[in-house]
Structure 1
Amino acid sequence: MITPIELQSKTFKNGIGYDKKDVDNFLNELQSGYETIYKEKMELSDKINTLNEGLNYYKTIEKTLQKALVLAEQTAEDTKESARKQAKAIVEEAKGKAQLILSDASNEFNKIQQQTIQLIRQYEAYKTQFKHLAASQCELLESESFQIHIADLNLFIEREEPNKAKEVPESKSLDLNKEVKIKQIKPETEDEDFEFYNLNEDEQE
C-alpha cells in the first residue's frame, strides 16, 4: 500500500493534456484524505493487535482454567474414590473387629456355661453322695451295732463291783443319775470304718 510520503513525493512529467495546478491540488487533497485514512488504519491495526494480544492472553487464561478445572474435577473424583475406598476399608475392619469380639464373647460365654453346668453336676453328684452317706449313717445308727443292751451293761457293772451289785429293774431302764464312762469298743467287722463307744460306770481305783 502507498504511504502518504510516497504519494507526496510522486511527480508527473510535463506535457499537453492536464493542467499541472489542478493535478497538484487534487494530489494534495488526495494526500490529505489518504493520510487520514492511513492513520486511522494504523490506529485500528494497533488496536486490533492489542485486542489480539488480549484475546490470546485470555485464551491462555481460559486454557489454564480449563486445565485447572479438569485437574480439580479429576482430583475431586480421585479424592471421592479414595474416601470411598478408605470408608469401605474402615467399615470392613470394624466389621471384622466386631465379628472377632462377638466370637470371643460367644466362646467365653460357652466356656462359662460349660463350667457352670459342670459345677452344677458336681454339686448334684456331691449332694446325692451326701444324701446316700447320711442315709447310710442313719441306717447304721439304727443297726444292732449301736444298740446298748442294758442286761449286758449290768453284768459288766456287777463284775467290776462285786460288793456293790445292784438289781436291774425289770423295765431294764438305765439309771441316769449314775456316773458312767464311755468305753471304746472295736468294730465287729473289718468292713465297718467307724468306731462306737459303750457306756460303763466309773471304775473304782
Structure 2
Amino acid sequence: MLTPVDLQGRTFKSGMGYSKADVDSFFSTLTADYEALYRENMELKDKVGTLNEGINHYRSIEKSLQKALVLAEQTAEETISSAKTNATVIEQEAVLKAQSIVADAKIELDHIHAKTVEMLQQYERYRSQYRALAQAQVELLDSESFNIEVASLDAFSSLEQEAAQNSAAVHAKVQFQETEEKTAAVMSEPSDEDEDETLDDDIQINDLASLFADDHSDDAQED
C-alpha cells in the first residue's frame, strides 16, 4: 500500500500530454486526502488492535468465569448431595434419640408411679398405726387409772396434813437438839474466879429459859 511519502516523491516525465499544473494540483489534493485516509486507517487499526486485546482479555475472563461457574455448579451439586446425606443421617439420629428419650421417660414414669404407690401404702400404714395409737390413748384416758374420785382427794389431803405434822415434829426435834447443844456449850465454858460461878449459873439459867421461850414461840407460829 502506498504511503503519503511515496505519493509526494512520485515524479513523471515531462512532455506533451496533460497540463503539468493540473496534474500537480490534483496530485497535491490526492496526497492530502490519502494522507488523511492513511492516518485514519492507522488509527482504526490501533483501535482494532486495542479492541482485540480487550476482547481477548474478556474472552479469558469469560473462560475463567465459565470454569468458575462449572466448578460452582459442581460444588453446589456436591453440597446439595452432602446436605441431603447429612439431613438423612441427622433425621435418623434424631429419631433414635427421640425413641431413647421416650423410652427413658416411660421407665422414669413407671418408677415414679411405683414410688408413689409405695408412698401411699406407707402413708396408709402410718395412718392405721397412728389411729390405733390414738384409740389406745383414748381408751387409756377412759380407763379407771385416770379416774380421780372425791375419796381419793380426801385421802390425799389427809396424807398432806400428816406429812405437815411430821415435818413440824421433825423441826421441833431439831430445834430441841440445837437447844441442848447450846446448853452444853454454855455449861462447858470455864470460870477463873469462884465468886463469879453463881453469877454465871444465873446467866446460864436465864439463857436456857430464853431459848425454851424462843422454841415455844416458833412452834406456835408454825402451828
TM interval, shorter chain, is 0.3 to 0.5
Structure 2 length normalisation: TM-score?
Answer: 0.43
Q: Which has the higher strand share?
A: 1
Structure showing greater relative contact order (alpha-carbon pairs closer than 8 Å, 6 or more residues apart): 2
Greater Rg by CA? 2
Q: Which has the higher helix share?
A: 2
Structure 1 length normalisation: TM-score?
Answer: 0.46
